[in-house]
Chain A
Amino acid sequence: MTHTPIAGLRATQMTYAALDGAEQIAVTDLLRAEDIVKTFGPVTALNGVSLRLRRGEILGILGDNGAGKSTLMKILTGYQPQTSGKLYIDGAETVLRSVDHARALGIECVYQDLALANSLSVYHNIFLNREILYPGFHILNNRAMRREAIRCLEEIGVYIPSVDAEVGALSGGQRQAIAIARAVHARARILLLDEPLAAMGAREAALIIDLILRLKAEGNMSIIMIMHNYAQTLDIADRIMLMQRGQVTYESDARSTSVPELMTIVRREYQHFQLHKESA
């Protein structure tokens, strides 16, 4: 059902091998977006955004509220179509028709609200809309889902006191972990995380960061994270992208930039914008 650790290891080695040859890098682009524009009536939410996600990497997208991060996310999950621009998955141009279509291609998103139903158990949440059913009927096979949920949580190293517990009773970190487990169990290749560390205490955040890094180390997953916190992003991500007012204003390897540098860029852009506004 899920990947064995050995298969995961092999995939990691393959990714690194591919990265050795510079000309092969294009091939390792799992997801590429070119010149994405999204308008809502007179409002332009995305104004020509391009991005690439390499196999096995973590891309952090930083930006203030209203920068267009969530809109970009919704386009990548097939939740809404872009006005113009192209998406490539595995190098092939793809038009995402729906969330289900994106899912079938291995794109999973963990939204900020986590899409969890508080009054349902942990295992029902992990299997929400992907229930294991008895053949022929739409009757839930609760025993199989329970067993599989325990296995899945164990595999990604998440401890939840009981899979029978109602999700509403769990902590923010545990809930985030369950939402991620759901995506992992769905065999996501591209995992989109919308503010995975928002409103989380230091201990909880550490648990989630640990989980994200472990998923990366297994090598089957490429991750795009929308983040607010610069320092945390530089810690976890391989590459970062800065979005401002619907555009990508800066892109860099996470190791070759720093929080002060990012702050300077943001401030400069902001001043530039203010000047532009005054002269207009």
Chain B
Amino acid sequence: MARTLNTMLKWRELSVIVVAVVLAVYFQIANANFLLSNASLQNLSQFIAPVALIACGEVVLMIGGEIDLSAGMVYALTPFLMYFLTRAGLPAPLAIVGALAGAAAVGAVNGMVTVLLQVPSFVTTLGMLFLLNGLTLTLSGGTPVGVDAGPTLAFIMGRGGYAEFVWAALIVLVMHFMLRNTRWGLHTIAAGANPTGASEAGIRTRELKMVNFVISGALAGLTGILEAFRISSIDPTAGGTHIMFLAVAAAVIGGTPLAGGSGTIAGAMIGAMVLGILNDGFTLIGINAFTFDLILGGAILVAMLCNILISRYRRRMAVS
């Protein structure tokens, strides 16, 4: 019995899975169309995918005690970069790659300012948030534009009903594996848990952190492109702080502490699912948007509390 409990506690993501399942069952009972209809399932997947994708980047940074507040604005800017590159005559696939490189470059600037000038990432990326928002609004003149690409490419890049979710699932799987099973992942966690110690062990913690900012920027950019294809329009006011905070919330609910030192990508994915289930579930049973934020806030606080209690309990179990 105690042993089963121990195994369960070792698996950090389990408590969030339980929450997700309980919520899903509740909403399924409250509204029979919640999960078992294709339309609502697709709807749910389209809420989860962008949150999970951006959360991947946030988790990697949060492990190192950093955060990327500008992710939502990278999300808004990148499709415009793609649009301008297409207008300049580049074929769509190249324009996508170019736009992603731009998103990665934003991440690189975030990383360099944070690491080299030792500005807290909260400040760096807060500045970048406003800067990019202004840039996107200026470039676009504040008006949405259309997306031009062949139907196949558009389908793959998000127009297909579950295309974005497939992207998210694949990237979550790859990132989860990499964080757990590669040198990069181990070093990211080590540098987050003990920055001085990790550099004393010879890990290049500064380079590592910069790379992780680039990853976060690129993922936010990809999310923006996928969303643009999905809704067939590039909106300068898309994304923003809302999607970024949802991603951070998903990471926290999934078990990544804001203080850093540890974290899980799969947990963030499940965290995104919890947020999605709450969002869709309450919409379907007819609760208004104000109440949703109330519940979301409560959910984050409760998740944080559980996280602290569980990790304290795990420590105690491991010692005895």
Contacts of B315 in A (CB 8 A): 166, 168-169
Chain A: minimal CB distance from B221 (Å): 24
User: A39 contacts which chain B residues (CB < 8 A)?
Assistant: none
A99 cross-chain contacts in B, Cβ below 8 A: 200, 202
In chain B, what residue has the closest Cβ to A182?
B201
A115 near B186 (CB under 8 angstroms)?
A: no
- Do most interface residues of chain A lie in helix, strand or loop, or is the interface mixed? loop
Q: Once the chains bind, are B200 and A109 in contact (CB under 8 Å)?
A: yes
Contact sample, A vs B, 26 pairs, CB 8 Å cutoff: A79-B200, A111-B197, A111-B200, A113-B197, A113-B200, A114-B197, A115-B194, A115-B196, A115-B197, A117-B189, A117-B190, A117-B193, A117-B198, A119-B189, A119-B261, A124-B186, A128-B186, A128-B198, A131-B186, A138-B183, A139-B182, A140-B186, A166-B314, A166-B318, A169-B315, A170-B319
B26 interface residue (CB < 8 Å to A): no
Q: Which of B187-220 contact A (CB under 8 A)?
A: 187, 189-190, 192-194, 196-198, 200-203
Docked Cα-Cα span, A99 to B198, in Å, equals: 12
Contact with B along A87-123 (1 / 0, CB 8 A): 0000000000001100100000101011111111000
Main secondary structure of the interface of B (DSSP, over half): helix
The reply to whether the CB of A165 lies closer than 8 angstroms to some CB of chain B is yes
Interface presence of A213 (CB below 8 A): no
B181 at the interface (CB under 8 A from A): yes
B200 lies within 8 A of A142 (CB): no
Q: Using Cβ atoms and an 8 Å threshold, which residues of chain A touch B187?
A: 129
Most chain A beta carbons < 10 A, residue from B196, B201, B262? B201
Which residue, A114, A117, A128, A139, has most C-beta atoms of chain B within 10 A?
Answer: A117
Partner of B201, one of A118, A128, A138: A128
Report A165-206 CB contacts with B as 1/0, cut-off 8 Å: 110111100000000000000000000000000000000000
Contact with A along B245-268 (1 / 0, CB 8 A): 000000000000000011000000
Contact with A along B22-63 (1 / 0, CB 8 A): 000000000000000000000000000000000000000000
- Is A263's CB within 8 Å of the partner chain B? no
- Shortest Cβ distance from residue B204 to the other chain A in the assembled complex, whole angstroms: 9
A27 near B: Cβ within 8 Å?
Answer: no
Please determine whether A128 and B203 come into contact, CB atoms closer than 8 angstroms.
yes
In the complex, B184 has a CB within 8 A of chain A: yes
- Tell me the complex Cα distance, A205–B183, Å: 33
**CB atoms of A116 and B318 under 8 A apart:** no
Query: Interface of B with A (CB < 8 Å)?
Result: 181-184, 186-187, 189-190, 192-194, 196-198, 200-203, 261-262, 314-315, 318-319
Complex Cα distance A124/B202, Å? Answer: 15
In the assembled complex, the CB of A177 is this many whole angstroms from the nearest CB of chain B, namely 16
Known: A117-B189, A117-B190. A129 touches B182 (CB 8 A): no
- Residues of A in contact with B, size category: 20 to 34
Interface: A144 (CB within 8 A): no
When distances are taken between beta carbons in the complex, the residues of chain B under 8 Å from A9 are: none
The answer to whether B197 and A120 have CB atoms under 8 Å apart is no
Which residue of the partner chain, among B196, B261, B314, B318, contacts A113 with CB atoms under 8 Å? B196
| Alpha-carbon separation in the docked complex, A133 to B184 (Å) | 12
Bound CA span A116–B194, Å? 7
Question: Which A residues touch B190, using CB under 8 A?
Answer: 117, 120, 124, 128
CB distance from B289 to the nearest CB of A (A): 37
Whether A117 contacts B183 by the Cβ 8 Å rule is: no
Given the interface contacts A128-B201, A129-B203, does A118 sit within 8 Å of B183 by beta carbon? no
Whole-angstrom distance between the Cβ of B319 and the nearest chain A Cβ: 5
Would A140 and B182 be within 8 Å (CB), given that A118-B261, A165-B318 are in contact? yes
Query: How far in angstroms is the closest Cβ of chain B from A182?
Result: 8
> Separation in Å of the A102 CB from the closest CB of chain B?
10
Give the chain B neighbours of A129 by CB distance below 8 A. Answer: 187, 198, 201-203
CA distance A169 to B200 in the complex (A): 21
